[in-house]
Amino acid sequence: MIVFKRMSALLLAGVTIMAAAGCGSGGGDTTASAGGADDGKITMGFAQVGAESGWRTANTKSIQESAKAAGIELKFSDAQQKQENQIKAIRSYIQQKVDVIAFSPVVESGWDNVLKEAQTAKIPVILTDRAVDSADTSLYKTFLGSDFVEEGRKAGKWLVEEYKDSTDTVNIVELQGTTGSAPANDRKAGFAEVIGAESKFKVIASQTGDFTRAKGKEVMEAFLKSNPDIDVLYAHNDDMGLGAIEAIEGAGKVPGKDIKIITVDAVKDGMQALADGKINFIVECSPILGPQLMDLAKKVVAGEQVPARVLTEETTFTPEQAKAALPTRPY
């Protein structure tokens, strides 16, 4: 929660919403990075989490296409959701003397040493998508991504509204994202903060599904075996929710009716399930971070000041809104 408290302060200090142009007045220093491209061409080393979900696939596509459009040479690695692979990739980018390093930390902790190595090598680092819990915020220039606590709150607020006229106990099971990751920690915290105000909401089981469909299905099958009276599933991403739908149908129950489902992301497959009534509400988390990342990278390499925190804009969807959005949904 340290990260969240600091983020709140930063939000007040100088946050730029993704849609706004230009630099904010936030943190980040003005000294030019040593890696300043002498041939004018910037080289970025990007250490991606993996390819675990539809969201991640869309995020990778956005980063690769945006680098091309921005004329930035991209060195890209897929860590297969292993922190040691991301650390190896960052170290290789340092050795290759790239101009800027960007990555989405698979988990919040354990980054200080490698980030200090990048700082010593005078290579600026940009966090995208997920945050780190390093106390030393000078280790990175900016963090571009969603407010996951707010995403959890949005999910909780929909549930409170959905059951506002009921006094019965509401039994909730939760499929958490990757253990130790910022989205898992914060989506859980935001949801609990909102539903905790009403004693009728009971989280009777909560376990990681590691953001994947397969694991989401497996854990939901176990939930169904040990909990006959599940009313609601809160899944930290669409993919785990879609896996859970397979388990719910396999148990002879109707997803969206016998068990109401709330997920986060709003990728196409999730939105289709929402439109079909198998999911009841989706909180959007935008993976389209590429354009903003490349803009920030150019500024950072040029030694310009950038906001310490750049928040992505996102919304929520009901089944009706999903039906309207699907035909033009970019991911």
Interface contacts to ligand GZL, rule CB under 6 A: 52-53, 55-56, 129-130, 145-146, 183, 211, 237, 239, 264-265, 285
- Nearer to ligand GZL by Cβ, of 219 and 264: the residue is 264
Q: Name the residue number minimizing CB distance to ligand GZL.
A: 55
Nearer to ligand GZL by C-beta: 26 or 152?
A: 152
Name the phi and psi angles at 169, rounded to 5. -65, 140
Smallest separation (angstroms) from ligand GZL to the CB of 198: 26
Question: Between residues 123 and 285, which has the closer beta carbon with respect to ligand GZL?
Answer: 285
Q: What's the min distance (Å) between Cβ of 80 and ligand GZL?
A: 12
Query: Across the strands, what pairs with 126?
Result: 102, 142
Least distance (Å) from ligand GZL to the CB of residue 182? 7
Choice between 173 and 283, CB closer to ligand GZL? 283
User: Smallest distance from the beta carbon of 40 to ligand GZL, in angstroms?
Assistant: 32
Nearest distance from residue 179's CB to ligand GZL, in Å? 13
Q: Which is nearer to ligand GZL, 174 or 231 (CB)?
A: 174
**Residue (212 or 305) nearer to ligand GZL, CB:** 212
Task: Give min distance, CB of 282 to ligand GZL, in A.
Answer: 11
Burial 294-330 (b: 16+ CB within 10 A, else e): bbbbbbbbeeebbbbbbbbebebbebebbeebeeeee
| Residue 139 · residue 112 · CB < 8 Å | yes
